[in-house]
């Protein structure tokens, strides 16, 4: 695998009224990012021009292309694909903003499906306005991308230098979490997690901690039965498959005592259980990664941040980390696939005599 190859990175602009356009401008004012890959932004040059004026960024430059094959190295390439944008309401949700974000994501997915992009990086969207275009069944990027790429058991993972956290349930109301947790579902998530840690992150024998659902991990059934009846069964089944899974751990003590440092990954039962400690410890350097898909997809680990849009306060660190991680994971996965398909043959040393009984 040639790591000098410049990957075509598809970047979706996200919600045009949030901080996505600002993050793009701030990040690509650094010329290194255009040396690092071939960035292709799915969005609107008109929107970028509005934010360039708001941010007073005259040194920020881009070119407009019609498709990925026209993208140029050392340039930020923009594909204009937001047809319904007639105005930008910075810091305010709008139906047209959701529609535009949907158009950009849809085209980027189609190009990725046809092999015109190497990896995807998606900018934050407003789920409420995006759903107006995507339909009532939409609950998040992770689920939509899983459906688009035929990955039924894809996995929402948060990644930083401090920890890697994955989720059994993603964007669900808390009242629905328990009924959506089963031993089979946990085992499937552990399988994807184990495979991703091994093949995407080059961890040969990953150790995964599994969190409980209830306070004190159920306290031996006093505070809930899911740990005894569901989670322990799943851990045993995963262990039988050769997955090194341990738990269930009480979430508060697990993070409070820094036990997470002993593990390569942490499987949380629901969204906030995993993401609150992750974001507290990772700050603006965390990345959202969708594991278990044929395409590498990453995203900043934050939302649209309407409250600071247009103020120049946004921090592009997570977006940059998402770009770096997407490219690294692409190469790691490709190298591991190559090793699995072309294993080294065992060579016997003729100087060593065979043992004779």
Residue 213 in contact with residue 181, Cβ under 8 Å? Answer: yes
Regarding pTM above 0.75, the answer is: yes
Q: What's the CATH code, domain 1-151+293-339? A: 3.40.718.10
Say if strands 287-291 and 296-300 run parallel, antiparallel, or are unpaired: antiparallel
Q: Can you read off the two tokens belonging to residue 342? A: 């072309």
What's the CATH class of domain 153-286?
A: alpha beta
pLDDT tens, 191-236?
A: 999 999 999 999 999 999 999 999 999 888 888 999 999 999 999 9
Give domain limits for the chain.
1-151+293-339, 153-286
Q: Is the pLDDT at 307 greater than 80, yes or no?
A: yes
Total Cβ atoms within 10 A of residue 151: 18
Q: Are 1-151+293-339 and 153-286 in the same CATH fold? A: yes
CA distances to 191, 204, 206, 208 from 242, in Å: 10, 12, 11, 12
Cα–chain center distance at 205:
22
Confidence tier at 354 by pLDDT (50, 70, 90)? very low
Q: Looking at residue 307, what DSSP letter applies?
A: G
Summarize the confidence of residues 277-306 as an average pLDDT: 94
Q: Is the pLDDT at 355 greater than 60, yes or no?
A: no
Residue 20 confidence (pLDDT) = 96
Residue 343 confidence (pLDDT) = 64
- Pick 357 or 89 by higher pLDDT: 89
- What proportion of the chain, given as a percentage, has pLDDT over 90? 79
Residue 261 confidence (pLDDT) = 96
- What proportion of the chain, given as a percentage, has pLDDT over 70? 94
Q: Is the pLDDT at 349 greater than 80, yes or no?
A: no
Q: Can you read off the two tokens belonging to residue 352? A: 């060593």
Q: What is the dihedral of CA 38, 41, 47, 48, to 10 degrees?
A: -20
């Amino acid at each position: 695998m040639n790591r000098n190859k410049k990957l075509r990175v598809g970047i979706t602009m996200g919600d045009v009224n949030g901080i996505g356009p600002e993050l793009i401008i701030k990040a690509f004012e650094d010329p290194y990012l255009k040396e690092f890959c071939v960035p292709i932004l799915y969005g609107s040059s008109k929107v970028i021009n509005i934010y360039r004026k708001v941010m007073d960024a005259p040194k920020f430059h881009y070119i407009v292309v019609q498709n990925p094959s026209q993208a140029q190295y050392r340039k930020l390439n923009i594909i204009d694909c937001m047809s319904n944008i007639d105005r930008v309401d910075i810091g305010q949700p709008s139906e047209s903003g959701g529609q535009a974000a949907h158009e950009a994501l849809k085209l980027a997915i189609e190009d990725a499906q046809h092999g015109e992009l190497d990896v995807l990086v998606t900018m934050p969207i407003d789920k409420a306005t995006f759903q107006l275009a995507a339909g009532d069944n939409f609950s998040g990027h992770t689920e939509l991308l899983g459906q688009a790429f035929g990955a039924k058991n894809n996995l929402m993972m948060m990644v930083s230098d401090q920890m890697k956290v994955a989720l059994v349930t993603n964007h669900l109301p808390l009242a629905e979490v328990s009924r959506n947790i089963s031993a089979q579902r946990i085992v499937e998530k552990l399988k994807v997690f184990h495979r991703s840690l091994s093949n995407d992150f080059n961890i040969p024998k990953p150790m995964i901690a599994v969190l409980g659902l209830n306070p004190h991990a159920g306290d031996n059934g006093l505070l809930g039965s899911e740990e005894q009846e569901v989670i322990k069964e799943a851990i045993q089944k995963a262990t039988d498959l050769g997955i090194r899974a341990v738990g269930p751990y009480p979430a508060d003590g697990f993070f409070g005592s820094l036990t997470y440092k002993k593990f390569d990954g942490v499987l949380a039962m629901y969204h906030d259980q995993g993401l609150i400690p992750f974001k507290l410890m990772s700050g603006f350097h965390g990345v959202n990664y969708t594991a278990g898909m044929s395409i590498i997809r990453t995203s900043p680990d934050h939302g649209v941040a309407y409250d600071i849009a247009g103020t120049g306060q946004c921090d592009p660190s997570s977006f940059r980390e998402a770009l770096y991680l997407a490219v690294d994971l692409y190469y790691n996965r490709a190298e591991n696939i190559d090793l699995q398909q072309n294993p080294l043959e065992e060579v016997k040393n003729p100087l060593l005599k065979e043992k004779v009984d």
